[in-house]
């Protein structure tokens, strides 16, 4: 009986070691479309991400509330009752995202990937009087809670030699939330009013083409990965956030087969917004289409841990924190602070 138990334990360990998916086999959890699968493999995943923004910068120079409300002209000042200068200043924005995804490989060369994303935005702003002494009126919160995106991609294996892999991604991303969400804002007249929220609190409803190229190289206990990805707007509804380019490089180190640590640099460049909505006219920077797009450099630290259950079935937990190193955005915008990503992946 005892021998049988020992034998079973060894047998399970042996299987796990032989067929184990290693922690280092996937990129840091914040990288999407980083890997492909072998024929007939299925993977399910769920990811939670949060992003914090705080403070404001004008052409990447930090700017105070007082400077904003006395120097930044309200582009909608010609409307009756609208203040001459911006009168609402965003202080903090918290974005939460939940992504549910699946991957399936019909062959060794091709993997399909689908994802559904839910988003929740919370924006805290200060309101100031529209004229006279420009006194502080109070702080208020606006919220957005919506189904946000759907994406479908094909990942195509280009090269797989022992320690060097290259693959291509081509896909479609569809923003499916509504682009005229209303919220209650504190106006410069010191009244709470239901208004169409600024662009930052809307989904643009656009369709984007995703194209990406990923390389991953094994060097003993290390993996050196890089990915370049582009989101290109192919269809919009009156207005859309700009095309986005992401360049990511990561270095991973195995602690053992089931645990790996990572460091990553992520550069994002977003083009200017296109179009505009005649409904969005509140006296805040994020109602002005010129205050969108720009460049961002982030540094991330992460860990992946694999749990093996049975032969070929395993679970993976990934965690990554990204700090904004440099905000270099167009016009007047909030600064990115940090992002946190937590994910669970299960291979069937």
Residue ranges binding Cu ion (CB under 5 A)? 43, 103
**CA dihedral sign, ordered 65, 70, 72, 76:** positive
Of 320, 321, 323, whose CA–CA distance to 298 is shortest? 323
Q: Which is nearer to Cu ion, 26 or 208 (CB)?
A: 26
Rounded to an integer, what distance in angstroms lies between the CA atom of residue 119 and that of residue 145? 6
The span from the CA of 168 to the CA of 109, in Å, is 10
Taking CB atoms, the residue at the shortest distance from Cu ion is 43
Distances (CA, A) of 111 to 12, 35, 154, 283, 345: 29, 9, 6, 47, 16
- Under 8 Å between Cβ of 44 and 346: yes
Q: Is the dihedral of CA 339, 58, 55, 74 positive or negative?
A: negative
Closer to Cu ion by Cβ: residue 43 or 127: 43
Instruction: Report the nearest approach of Cu ion to the CB of residue 97 (Å).
Output: 19
Smaller CB separation from Cu ion, 26 or 281? 26
Contact 291, 332 (CB under 8 A): yes
The distance from CA 208 to its chain's CA centroid, rounded to whole angstroms, is 15
Nearest-approach distance from CB 36 to Cu ion, in angstroms = 7
Q: Report in angstroms how near the CB of residue 118 gets to Cu ion at its nearest.
A: 20
Nearer to Cu ion, 303 or 332 (CB): 303
**Shortest Å distance, C-beta 176 to Cu ion:** 23
Residue 320 beta carbon to Cu ion: minimum distance, rounded to whole angstroms? 16
Joined tokens for residue 253: 């180190």
d(CA 225, CA 104): 22
Going by C-alpha positions, the residue among 119, 123, 126 that lies closest to residue 142 is: 123
Smallest gap from residue 188 Cβ to Cu ion (A): 50
Instruction: Report, in Å, the least distance between residue 292 CB and Cu ion.
Output: 32
Q: Are 304 and 262 in contact (CB under 8 A)?
A: yes
Exposed/middle/buried for 99, CB within 10 Å: 0-12, 13-18, 19+? buried
Shortest Cβ 307–Cu ion spacing (Å):
16
Shorter beta-carbon distance to Cu ion: residue 156 or 299 = 156
Task: State which residue, 115 or 137, has the beta carbon closest to Cu ion.
Answer: 115
| Strand ranges for the chain from DSSP E | 42-58, 61-63, 88-104, 110-128, 136-161, 164-175, 182-186, 192-196, 207-219, 222-235, 239-240, 244-256, 259-270, 274-275, 294-310, 313-329, 332-347
Using the minimum distance from each CB to Cu ion, give the nearer residue, 33 or 83.
33
Instruction: Say which residue the tokens 């890089």 belong to.
Output: 226
Judged by CB, which is closer to Cu ion: 31, or 200?
31
- Least Cβ distance, residue 304 to Cu ion (angstroms): 12
219 or 348: CB nearest Cu ion: 348
């Amino acid at each position: 009986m005892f021998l049988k138990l020992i034998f079973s334990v060894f047998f399970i360990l042996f299987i796990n070691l032989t067929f184990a998916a290693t922690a280092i086999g996937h990129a840091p959890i914040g990288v999407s479309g980083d890997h492909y699968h072998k024929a007939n493999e299925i993977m399910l995943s769920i990811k939670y991400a949060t992003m914090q923004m705080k403070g404001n910068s004008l052409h990447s120079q930090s700017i105070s509330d007082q400077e904003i409300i006395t120097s930044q002209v309200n582009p909608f000042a010609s409307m009756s009752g609208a203040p001459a200068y911006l009168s609402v200043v965003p202080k903090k924005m918290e974005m939460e995202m939940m992504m549910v995804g699946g991957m399936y490989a019909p062959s060794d060369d091709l993997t399909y990937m689908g994802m559904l994303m839910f988003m929740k935005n919370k924006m805290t702003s200060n309101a100031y009087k529209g004229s006279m002494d420009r006194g502080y009126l109070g702080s208020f919160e606006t919220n957005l809670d919506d189904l946000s995106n759907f994406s479908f991609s094909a990942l195509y294996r280009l090269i797989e030699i022992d320690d060097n892999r290259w693959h291509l991604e081509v896909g479609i991303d569809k923003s499916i939330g509504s682009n005229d969400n209303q919220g209650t804002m504190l106006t410069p007249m010191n009244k709470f009013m239901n208004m169409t929220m600024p662009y930052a609190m809307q989904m643009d409803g656009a369709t984007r083409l995703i194209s990406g190229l990923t390389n991953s190289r094994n060097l003993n206990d290390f993996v050196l990965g890089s990915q370049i990805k582009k989101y290109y707007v192919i269809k919009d509804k009156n207005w859309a956030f700009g095309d986005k380019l992401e360049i990511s490089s990561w270095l991973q180190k195995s602690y053992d087969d089931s645990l790996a640590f990572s460091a990553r640099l992520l550069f994002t460049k977003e083009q200017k917004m296109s179009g505009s909505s005649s409904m969005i006219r509140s006296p805040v920077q994020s109602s002005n289409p010129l205050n969108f797009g720009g460049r961002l450099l982030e540094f991330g630290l992460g860990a992946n841990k694999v749990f093996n259950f049975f032969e070929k079935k395993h679970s993976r937990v990934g965690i990554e924190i990204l700090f904004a190193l440099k905000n270099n955005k167009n016009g007047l915008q909030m600064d990115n602070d940090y992002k946190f990503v937590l994910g669970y992946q299960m291979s069937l």
